Structure 1
């Protein structure tokens, strides 16, 4: 049970897509927008780094890439009116010691590129090929560092008429849920006379800290950051500021039957959690394997903490609008000794993960936000599970069709394990687990991954 994806696909991967950049320009809001500064919540503040995604489209004779380019440029100009902050620039306000977005309509980036490869020649799209980085433009060399766009689209056409839409955006602009809504709104504006899918809610004051801040829970999932006064602007998030190591990486595929097996196993004995989800059982399984594969894995008294994101929109009182555009996710956590992870029943591990998410009540979320106001810290654990599994980017309907596949551009990190869908998206209930570890730890992880599925 559980299959190793990498072994069958590695020989098909092209390592250099030979992408040629043809044009780059800035796209501005199609109407005048108000000049103002946008408040960024304490969750947004710690996410000042870029996220890259690639959305692959098959050839459509009615929409060759040059037509798609013009439609996307027009659609971008339209959505930059309700998403005015996206055309702005990030700035540090020394008076309040916080990052803000200056809504100055300076524009988003648009890059046109081409490769002589056909879409079918570049290999399995599910395989996280490092060469996909060439499908995303990360910056504009012609602009100064403080004038870089928060959002850049690169359309790379393939010889077959298919194309890839690569997007790089500062994480402070969107979380995964609000990014999908943005894509739906962008797609809607590429159609003639179609309304927005939903009006975005840009009021990030909804997640402002209370005054005065009240930290009412201990927050072991957060790490205090000691920054000398006046140096807040240059401080980098330590949890994300990690050099790439010499790591092996492998993809472990869990089929829908594997996930169903884990759900059944989570029922006990002893009695498991009342609500058993696919995410919780996969997280529990991966947590156990990762903790016990550590190079200190023989120390069974060692505690292991797994972090995973929880959407707080519906957990707050009153709830946030579902169209809230900022980052509305916080890190839940589960902690256990390696001895418990090795010997405890699987149902108990799933219960620990379930309780971690259930802990995220309105008061707990507000306490975590207030903690950030007091300590200016970051999420902290042994590793983070980042799930793209059910975000549904490939469900977005453009005039030229839905993406064949959508995926993040992967940078291999031993402290981040990625969950992402197979081709077929959320309709296929299976999941791919991307793990990057030193060779010795990877060997142990792989053994445990299959052992605990038996």
Structure 2
């Protein structure tokens, strides 16, 4: 196991950004009806930032990257027309929806006076690299933020970076991957690989809504602390002021790396007492990170230690969602125990709680959760814990837009301190864990997270 600070020797970065343009669908789109957003969508009105670094291709100049992607995006918006709209609040229903106003997706170009080599190791996230990710231009409220933003930055060496800012409001990682593969194909003159199906009426609450389970994974709207801040959203954020996202000054972000051998040791250790017969890499690492974090923080023994993570529910719903579904087909699995149980218990205990949380996410539980939100509104209860976002199976390194595969791809440094991200290593052999903690807590976490044979 190793770790790295997000800061590197690079302390300044000069990026000359051009004014953006707004890309419209290549063909007229006549559908102007509001686009329905589910109860799950309502909690996810934030932008996910990713970037893809490409070395120069001696056989193909990067001069045409921007025009090629802009044209491909315009063609794709015919099939993803909602991405050209803007979120708004339906004041009658008090829920967010998308106004199909075809304001367009934001597209910008930029130049950097450094070479990729001079950036250093781009696999080590650096807050400065957010300059390669598009930011909403002149946005004053959440409603002003484009749902899709792309920035192409060209480096002095001829390499380039493609940065994306995509609203989580409209899709999950599965939907993003299918969009990127479609963009990749269309950019190279091919057809759609996946036929998008964005309709999501199957996620509407029952009438009347009838929650049948307890849902500790959520905080009710009337339970939210007045000073609460974080990534998850309620419908009233639409008209809130927007000043961009900045990292907490109280926290530092680090990458903690786990090799393939580390992960194998954790899986064996989770099963060594015989209580568990099968443990996935995700289960083992989640239980380990949860326990190490609880050991590191100053929490009372009787406090609740809570861990949430997103479960793909495409095949858990009855009937299952159609192939090509574009939306947030995810639900928050919630593992709970006291801090003392997590701190003093075995790894198998922690992993067992992670597995039990996954087993609870059935069709009936999901339907109950959708109805619960309809009645109480609210957000995932991360103020009392963390939310693990696993990108370990994301095929980042397959995204060839016509200039070769990326030398590095992944999320930009996240300023959202409640999230812990699992990310594949460039060699695809181990996993990197990206998290933010207060400096003194981070030191303790790194010690507790070490894996010994």
Length-normalised TM-score, structure 1? 0.91
Mean Cα deviation higher: 158-167 or 14-23: 14-23
Match of 1:199 in 2: 195
Match of 1:50 in 2: 47
Deviations 1:379-434 (A, max 9, x none): 0031111222222222223221222221112234442222112113xxx2311112
Structure 2 counterparts to residues 288-437 of structure 1, below 5 A: 288-296=291-299, 299-381=300-382, 382-424=385-427, 428-437=428-437
Q: C-alpha root-mean-square deviation of aligned residues, in Å? A: 2.2
Matched residue SS, 1:350: helix
Long gaps (5+) in structure 1? none
Q: Distance in 2 between matches of 1:295 and 1:102?
A: 45
Q: Distance in 2 between matches of 1:284 and 1:354?
A: 9
1:105 aligns with 2:82: no
Structure 2 counterparts to residues 176-215 of structure 1, below 5 A: 176-192=173-189, 194-215=190-211
Structure 2 counterparts to residues 88-237 of structure 1, below 5 A: 88-141=85-138, 146-192=143-189, 194-226=190-222, 233-234=236-237
1:345 is displaced (CA, Å) by 2.4
Change (3 A) 1:232 1:391: closer
1:232 is displaced (CA, Å) by 5.0
Deviations 1:223-253 (A, max 9, x none): 001299xx953477xxxx9972422332211
Q: Distance in 2 between matches of 1:279 and 1:74?
A: 38
1:275 aligns with 2:274: no
Matched residue SS, 1:226: helix
Change (3 A) 1:277 1:117: same
Asked whether the equivalents of residues 24 and 112 of structure 1 are also in contact (C-alpha less than 8 Å), the reply is yes
Match of 1:3 in 2: 2
Q: Distance in 1 between matches of 2:212 and 2:90?
A: 28
Change (3 A) 1:252 1:232: closer
Asked whether the equivalents of residues 246 and 415 of structure 2 are also in contact (C-alpha less than 8 Å), the reply is no
Q: Distance in 2 between matches of 1:80 and 1:213?
A: 34
Mean Cα deviation higher: 410-419 or 440-449: 410-419
Long gaps (5+) in structure 2? 225-233
Asked whether the equivalents of residues 263 and 281 of structure 2 are also in contact (C-alpha less than 8 Å), the reply is yes
Change (3 A) 1:227 1:346: closer
Deviations 1:144-188 (A, max 9, x none): 874442211100001111101111122112211111111111111
Length-normalised TM-score, structure 2? 0.91
Asked whether the equivalents of residues 252 and 439 of structure 2 are also in contact (C-alpha less than 8 Å), the reply is yes
Deviations 1:16-44 (A, max 9, x none): 22000134211110111122211000011
Match of 1:79 in 2: 76
Structure 2 counterparts to residues 15-54 of structure 1, below 5 A: 15-33=11-29, 34-54=31-51
Deviations 1:24-73 (A, max 9, x none): 21111011112221100001111111111111111113432321111101
Matched residue SS, 1:314: coil
Deviations 1:100-146 (A, max 9, x none): 11122221111010001111211112211000111122112299874
Q: Distance in 1 between matches of 2:266 and 2:360?
A: 23
1:328 is displaced (CA, Å) by 1.1
Change (3 A) 1:328 1:249: same
Q: Distance in 2 between matches of 1:213 and 1:391?
A: 35
Change (3 A) 1:373 1:63: farther
Change (3 A) 1:148 1:349: closer
Asked whether the equivalents of residues 268 and 346 of structure 1 are also in contact (C-alpha less than 8 Å), the reply is no
Matched residue SS, 1:289: helix
Change (3 A) 1:19 1:369: same
